[in-house]
Amino acid sequence: MSEQLDRDDIVTNPSGNRHLRDVVAADVSRRHVLGGSLGVAAVAFLAGAPAAQASPPAATTTDVVAGKGGRRRPLMGFAAIPVSTDDDVHVPEGYTADVLIPWGTPVHSDGPRWKKNASNSSREQAVQVGYNHDGQHFFPFDTRGRMKSRGGRHDDHGAGLLVLNNEYTDPSLLTTDGMEKVTLEKVRKHQHAVGVTVIAIEQKKDGGWTHTDSAFNRRVHANTPVVFSGPAARDPRLQAKTPSRGTMANCAMGDTPWGTYVTCEENWADYFGSADTAHTPTEEEKRYGIEPGASFYSWEKADARFDTDKDPNEQYRWGWCVEIDPFDPDHTPVKRTALGRVKHENAHFSTSRGRVVAYTGDDQNGEYIYKFVSRRPWRVARGMGRSPLDEGTLYVAKFHEDGTGTWLPLVFGQGPLTEKNGWKDQGDVLVRTRRAADAVGATPMDRPEWIKENPLTGQLYVTLTNGTSGPTPANPREKNVYGHILRWTERHDDKTGTEFDWDIFVLAGDPTKDPAVDINGDAFGSPDGLYFDPEGRLWIATDVSNSKQLLKEYENLGNNAMLCADPRTREIRRFLTGPKGAEITGITGTADRRNLFVNIQHPGEATKAIGEPTPAAPQAVSSWPDHDPAGRPRSATVVIRRKDGGIVGT
Ligand code: FEO
Ligand code: CA
Ligand code: CA
């Protein structure tokens, strides 16, 4: 739903945190010479040049990997593909893209079949693969064994659990007659179609993949019982009228060093509304974008839990990172409050000095980038029977104009987060994470989406998909319709520290329309999903809003795509193009680099340039992947392989 996706563009950050352009202007007025402490990024910004062109490649990255006999070969060997506007998935010559687990696939083989007129009940949806596949991770069946041995076999790719988020639903496609008439049964079906799907998959003799039965297969959805942990768990605002249930708006995710899955709640605010259109939003509702009147999804019309008048506290149970143990089908998902309450895109887990570090972006125009550092080494915490994600420090990023940055702690009693300033305790700081970040002076960013780490260098990359936070050195375009990718290195290679150095990896876009675009290779816009494979190839997925796709700035860029980048040379090649109305997301792979799993999300969604699906014409935009005249589009995973069994991307 393009209307839905564009809601991320709305700014609900009123903090007035000083824009870096003001800082820079002040600096310029009192300096004669630019240099010295002013880094390359800022110099380029001040000179009006794209920062990425001015900054040299990081010396520590490598664009080649050792081949047989000590020879070195380039990271990328495939021939780039052109943009596409048709209704299929395209990959380079010599590759295959096979569809796996589309929406509605029964998670157990004896479960209810998917009905192509969308007449499955809410009860049936609860045991079928969810809607709108997003972030995902593949856990080989020997995951826990690998954790113990700290090594890992490279032949472990043949079977495991695919754990994926199902981000949101399409009211015109999920049920036979749409949502014009709202019933509790329909709302329940929507609630059971979001959340997380855990499903076993295995590689067949012919190299293709199939889903299989396993004791671990299950759905976690908006009505699954959940518990809270960490400093905000007992905050009175989390005590709502009904028992705590569910996760939804599950955008992307992370996998922890101890082999669990953390799903991130992003656009949860769009599910809360009020029957009373005169409802006056509270300050927190305004800050998180809950609007008075009917919500986008209309759940509150049949389920009082989502009516902000009937239960003003339920909203505080959303916006968290939620840990799920995929290898324990009875595990109750845990909302880890220490990681903050925002609109989390993903959570990238790393380790440093034995601690676990979780990076997460808050995807809305003008919001911030965060990291959590565990108090103890994660193995020590787990040895004590505690979660490493329950005790630690949450930080928010400030990007300085000289190419350096600082992680600012969000700790009750420190800086402005005092009782005198109205803060009650650490739970309060976490429930009102955005306010706390406003107070310490974090840097507003152009919609932070995925954060991922180059496994060869430890550098962190973030997609800033588009926005209007700038112009600042970190967000150099005033009206950033194309987005950019920024990266940083933690000082002294210590991810638990508070200083870092950053530069801009690429300013995306169509160079024929914007001279600032500095892509070395194929054009793309609105970067979103990221994945580094074990050899250091950076895979980039795009999510151009369906209100902009194929129009104006985006008229030459075709459907959403996945590209491959060499982090050192910055060369970028288009590898995959998607069907109509879809975004590409959820890139992950097997350890042997021979299989990539990619999600095709929301094919057939309303697209301004093409049309709008309705219950009477569900295929008005797309019929992917089934292309069945009596069916409807469905999101699905595709498995990318080289036909000769080689490493994907070479
Ligand atoms: Fe769910 Fe920001 O993408
Ligand atoms: Ca995304
Ligand atoms: Ca996006």
Measured from the Cα of 134, ligand 1's closest atom is 1
Distance 280 CA to ligand 2 centre (A): 30
Q: Which atom belonging to ligand 1 lies closest to the Cα atom of 543? A: 3
Contact 486, 397 (CB under 8 A): no
Beta-carbon contacts of residue 416 (< 8 Å; ≥ 6 apart): 439, 440
- Domain locations in the chain? 23-90+447-650
Q: Within its chain, how far is the Cα of 323 from the centroid?
A: 15
pLDDT of residue 72: 61
Span 315-343, pLDDT tens digits: 999 999 999 999 999 999 999 999 999 99
CA-based max dimension of the chain: 75
Residue type, 172: S
pLDDT band per the 50, 70, 90 thresholds, residue 149: low
Helix or strand or coil: residue 180?
A: coil
Report the separation in Å between the CA atom of 344 and the middle of ligand 3, taken as the mean of its atom positions. Answer: 12
Return d(Cα 247, Cα 249) in angstroms, integer.
Answer: 7
Left (φ > 0), alpha (ψ -120 to 50) or beta: where does 84 sit?
beta
**Torsion angle (degrees, nearest 10) of CA 465, 622, 573, 48:** -30
Give the pLDDT confidence score for residue 16 in this predicted structure.
78
To the nearest whole number, what is the mean pLDDT of the chain? 91
Question: Which atom of ligand 1 is found nearest the CA of 447?
Answer: 2
Predicted confidence band at 142 (pLDDT cuts at 50, 70, 90)? Answer: confident
In terms of DSSP bridges, do strands 64-66 and 583-589 run parallel, antiparallel, or are they unpaired? unpaired
pLDDT, position 276? 87
Residue 263 Cα, ligand 3 centroid: separation in angstroms? 16
Alpha helices in 407-542 (DSSP H): 426-431, 433-440
CA distances to 140, 291, 440, 466 from 288, in Å: 37, 9, 18, 19
Local confidence band at 7 (pLDDT 50, 70, 90 cut-offs): confident
Q: What average pLDDT does the segment 293-307 reach?
A: 97
Q: Which atom, in ligand 1's list, is nearest to the CA of 249?
A: 1
Q: How many CB atoms lie within 10 A of CB 123?
A: 12
- Please report where in the chains the tokens 């009875």 appear, as a residue: 330
CA-based nearest residue to 294, from 271, 316, 265, 314: 271
Ligand at minimal distance from the CA of 168 is 1
Q: Which of 1, 15, 8, 6 is nearest to 435 (CA)?
A: 15
The pocket around ligand 1, CB under 6 angstroms, is made up of 167, 251, 266, 345, 363, 449
In this model, does residue 9 exceed pLDDT 90? no
**Confidence class of residue 17 from pLDDT cuts 50, 70 and 90?**
confident
Reply yes or no on whether the pLDDT at 1 is more than 80. no
**Nearest partner of 411 among 391, 387, 433, 429, judged by Cα:** 429
Closest ligand 1 atom number to CA of residue 167:
1
pLDDT at 172: 97
Inform me whether the pLDDT recorded for 572 exceeds 60: yes
Which residue's CA is the nearest one to ligand 1's atom 1?
251
Could you give the CA distance from residue 507 to residue 318 in angstroms, rounded to a whole number? 33
Which of these, 495, 440, 485, 491, lies nearest to 464 by C-alpha position? 485
Query: What is the 266 CA–ligand 3 centroid distance (Å)?
Result: 11
Ligand nearest to the CA of 587: 2
Terminus-to-terminus CA distance in the chain, angstroms?
35
pTM over 0.95: no
Spell out which residues have Cβ within 5 A of ligand 2, the ion: 449, 528
Q: What ligand has the least distance to the C-alpha of 543? A: 3
Q: Confirm if 397 and 34 have CB atoms less than 8 A apart.
A: no
**Quick one: tokens of 480?**
């950033």
In which band, very low, low, confident or very high, does the pLDDT at 143 lie, cut at 50, 70 and 90?
confident
Q: What is the pLDDT of residues 95-129, one digit of tens each?
A: 999 999 999 999 999 999 999 999 999 999 999 99
Q: Which tens digits make up the pLDDT trace of 171-220?
A: 999 999 999 999 999 999 999 999 999 999 999 999 999 999 999 999 99
Query: Tokens 């083989």 appear where?
Result: 109
The lowest-confidence range among 72-81, 516-525, 627-636 is 72-81
Query: In ligand 1, which atom is closest to the CA atom of 343?
Result: 2
Q: How would residue 446 be classed by pLDDT, with cut points 50, 70 and 90? A: very high
251 CA from centroid of ligand 3 (Å): 9
What is the per-residue pLDDT across 417-434, written as a single tens digit (0 to 9) for each? 999 999 999 999 999 999
Ligand 1 atom closest to the CA of 449, numbered from 1: 2
Where does the pLDDT of residue 277 fall: very low under 50, low under 70, confident under 90, or very high at 90 and above?
Answer: confident
- Flag whether pLDDT at 152 surpasses 60: no
Residue that has been written with the tokens 């014009």 in this structure:
180
363 alpha carbon to ligand 1 midpoint, in Å? Answer: 6
- Kindly tell me the burial class for residue 158, based on how many C-beta atoms sit within 10 Å of its own C-beta (0-12, 13-18, 19 or more): middle
Average pLDDT over residues 74-102: 98
Share of the chain above pLDDT 90, in %: 86
| Single-letter code of the amino acid located at 65 | V
CA 75 / ligand 1 centre spacing (Å): 28
CA of 591 to the centre of ligand 3 (A): 27
- Cα of 415 to ligand 1 centre, how many Å? 31
Give the residue-averaged pLDDT of 229-244.
Answer: 97
